Chains A and B, each alone.
Chain A
């Protein structure tokens, strides 16, 4: 987890509310990623960023948006949370061949 943190670490919210998760890195990596991890599934890529203001969709991007206004911060927003978005969310940094993961955020949508 060195050099990359996530906040909050746990969050419970209600269906229909907006939620923003924050990822912060101190390693000046150009690439950052958001994944979700669910039982029975491998980690799945939601969105990634290849630079400030440069982002692209991953395989499960519906219902999520991201922003990167500074190199060190990558935000994941659920505009209107749904129960299917209950998951553990991981942020990662670095090249695809050498990714370093944050500690994760457990999100529960009631």
Chain B
């Protein structure tokens, strides 16, 4: 079982609508959580990063929330645009005794249609 689970696996929405993507993790001890956007045929690009003490972080129309108690994060996209069509990946940093380790979710594939 993946230590970082994302849902839904895929999502189709109409342009202008809002949507929320979910990330549940079991990684512990937790250092930080990052959301990446990956356009088709490109590498992932960071959207937000949150430490365990942060509840919310915004980047334009993207707002990430974190509940470290329930080990859940969400990424809310407001007023979606066609360019938001991409895969959104949740990444959790595990703080091990020998250094940090990243655990990647499998991503949510978002398609924004007219």
A positions within 8 Å CB-CB of B: 1, 40-45, 90, 92, 96-99, 101-104
Contact = CB atoms under 8 A, between A and B. Distances in A.
A45 B106 CA distance: 14
Nearest to A43: B104
A43 B41 contact: no
A26 to B, nearest CB: 15
Which secondary structure characterizes the binding site on chain B?
A: strand
Contacts of B91: 42
A44 B43 contact: no
Contacts, number: 46
A103 B46 CA distance: 14
A40 B42 CA distance: 18
A97 B32 contact: yes
B77 interface: no
B46 A98 contact: yes
25 contacts: A1-B42, A1-B43, A40-B106, A41-B106, A42-B103, A42-B104, A42-B106, A43-B89, A45-B102, A90-B43, A96-B93, A96-B101, A96-B102, A97-B31, A97-B32, A97-B49, A97-B93, A98-B46, A98-B49, A99-B102, A101-B44, A102-B43, A103-B41, A103-B42, A104-B41
Chain A CB count within 10 A is highest, among B4, B32, B103, for B103
Contacts of A41: 106
